Amino acid sequence: MGRKTMATSKPAAPRQTNALLLELRSLIDSARHRVAQTANTTLTMLHWQVGKRIRSEVLRDGRAEYGEQILATLSQELVRDYGRGFNVSALTRMIKFAEAFPDEGIVATLSQQLSWSHFVEILPLKQPLEREYYAELCRVERWSVRTLRERIASQMYLRTAIAKQPEAVVKAEISHLRAGGQMTPDLVFRDPYMLDFLGLPQDYSERDLEDAILREMERFLLELGVGFTFVARQKRISVGADDFYLDLLLYHRHLKRLVAVELKLEKFQPGHKGQMELYLRWLNQHDRAMGEEPPIGLILCATKDAEQVKLLDMDASNIRVAEYLAHIPDMKVLQTQLHRAVELARERAARSALPLPTATTEAAKEPSPRRKKKEDDA
């Protein structure tokens, strides 16, 4: 009797197997991501709807004690049926969520990118525009919860140029961002920049600052904001018989423009504007690519006089001036300083918006010589 041999299948080629495995993993990961995103959106919208419904019920009665009573009763029943996710503190947070974000359409859009944990970080913020700013930037730049928490802790909103604009301008910028996802320089650039992570000694030189930035380039770009990429250090700019050297040349993907950065250890001086204008014009002529916006300049200085910067009309030259902090003060002190800076900037903007007195109105205030003579005779 002959011996039976089992047929053995020929193993698939490793390259073929690896390609198939890679494709299957991609399919599985993509499906899991969609399921998680759908679950997150559904959960966030549920929390908003629960908060809105309870809020409308409490407001309809108008009595605080009634609100506390109904909240306690609802919580007791919901916790028994669905768990601790619906205790009193959770329901209170849902009510605040519906109050802070009353537009269901906006919440539905945000929940495509933001998890419930993101909203939990944003809700304690007291100013509506500040909440909207963080929510929209979080959506556009896809921040993690940890990144959002760090941005809030560093007072990022108060450090942006947009926070120093009148409220109507801030609302318009956020609405524009929500509609088209387009970033503007006022949303991107900040003042001051936190450079404490560079670990600089108390007595440091401009070269020390530049070297430290290059060593910590990744963290430096993160502090500048999402979208910045490094292009060059000590970029040579030749004008006539002279060579000039730009400290740092960056590029911003969302703004689609080169960003020239000059580092100054001293207080901002009016002469710095002319230097940066020269660099920007050269970059615009020699390095600007097809389809890019004009280059923009960022002068990082130890300190500055806000009135001088305003009189120089730096925005008209596409130049931003910002302070940097190599050593961070107490956060409460910093927050107070930033709030005051925002108030002063808005006051200056309001004064600028006032109509200037005309020769006619000034003349109307002064009595005419004939009228003055009659009054004197009287």
How far apart are alpha carbons 285 and 29 in whole angstroms? 46
Provide the pLDDT for residue 295.
96
139 part of a folded domain: no
The tens place of each residue's pLDDT in the chain, 378 residues long, gives 455 555 555 555 567 778 888 888 888 888 888 888 788 899 999 999 999 998 887 766 566 666 788 888 999 999 999 988 899 999 999 999 999 999 999 999 999 889 999 999 999 999 999 999 999 999 988 999 999 999 998 889 988 888 888 888 889 999 888 888 788 888 888 888 888 888 888 788 888 888 888 888 888 888 888 889 999 999 999 998 899 999 999 999 989 999 999 999 889 999 999 999 999 999 999 999 999 999 999 999 989 988 898 899 998 999 999 988 877 666 666 667 677 777 777 776 666 665 544 444 444 444 444 444 444 554
Identify the domain boundary among 78, 100, 122: 100
Reading the block at residue 220, the tokens are 């430096």
First CA to last CA across the chain, in angstroms? 148
pTM of the model: 0.72
Name the residue among 170, 177, 221 with its Cα closest to residue 342: 170
Query: Does any domain span residue 319?
Result: yes
How far apart, in whole angstroms, are the C-alpha atoms of residue 246 and residue 230? 13
In a domain, 251, yes or no: yes
Contact between 107 and 118 under an 8 Å Cβ cutoff? The reply is no
Tokens representing residue 150 in the block: 């760090």
Boundary-marking domain end, from 54, 84, 100: 100
pLDDT score, position 375? 47
Q: Rounded to whole angstroms, how far apart are CA atoms 143 and 181? A: 15
Please state, as a whole number, how many other Cβ atoms lie within 10 Å of the Cβ of residue 245.
Answer: 10
Backbone angles phi, psi at 334, to 5 degrees: -60, -45
- pLDDT, residue 365, reads 44
Instruction: List, in order, residues 6 or more apart from 346 with CB less than 8 Å away.
Output: 164, 165, 166
Q: Which helix (H) or strand (E) holds 53?
A: helix 14-61
pLDDT value, residue 60: 66
Look at residues 100, 118, 133 and tell me which one is the last residue of a structural domain: 100
Residue 250: in which H helix or E strand, if any?
strand 242-252
Whether residue 217 sits in one domain with residue 92: no
Q: Where residue 326 sits, what CATH number does that domain have?
A: 3.40.1350.10
**CA 52/CA 55 separation, integer angstroms:** 5
> Looking at the structure, do residues 95 and 202 belong to the same domain, yes or no?
no
User: Are residues 197 and 86 part of one domain?
Assistant: no
pLDDT value at position 360?
41
Residue span of the structural domain in which 238 resides? 193-337
Position 370 scores a pLDDT of 45
Q: Say if 307 falls within a structural domain.
A: yes
* DSSP bridge pairs for 249: 232, 260
Residue with tokens 């039976």: 4
Provide the 10 A C-beta neighbour count for residue 66: 13
Determine the distance from the C-alpha atom of residue 93 to the mean position of all C-alpha atoms in its chain, rounded to a whole number: 24
Residue 153 lies in a domain: no
Distance between CA atoms of residues 250 and 259, nearest Å: 5
Residues 92 and 211 occupy one common structural domain? no
Q: Are 308 and 268 in contact (CB under 8 A)?
A: yes
**Each residue of 83-137: pLDDT tens digit?**
888 999 999 999 999 999 999 999 999 998 899 999 999 999 999 999 999 999 9
DSSP, collapsed to helix, strand or coil, labels residue 321 as strand
Q: Two tokens at 298?
A: 């960022």
Strands (E), 142-200: 193-194
Instruction: Give backbone dihedrals phi and psi of 290, rounded to 5 degrees, phi first.
Output: -60, 130
Sign for the CA dihedral angle at 267, 271, 277, 278 comes to negative
- 19 domain residue, yes or no: no
Q: Are 88 and 72 in contact (CB under 8 A)?
A: yes
The number of distinct structural domains making up the chain is 2
What's the distance, CA 84 to chain centroid?
34
Structure confidence at residue 357 (pLDDT):
46
Q: What is the pLDDT of residue 368?
A: 47
What single string gives the DSSP state of each residue in 275-300? HHHHHHHHHHHHTPPTTPPPPEEEEE
For residue 243, give the 3-state DSSP assignment: strand
pLDDT value, residue 371? 45
- Contact indicator for 323, 192 with CB cutoff of 8 Å: yes
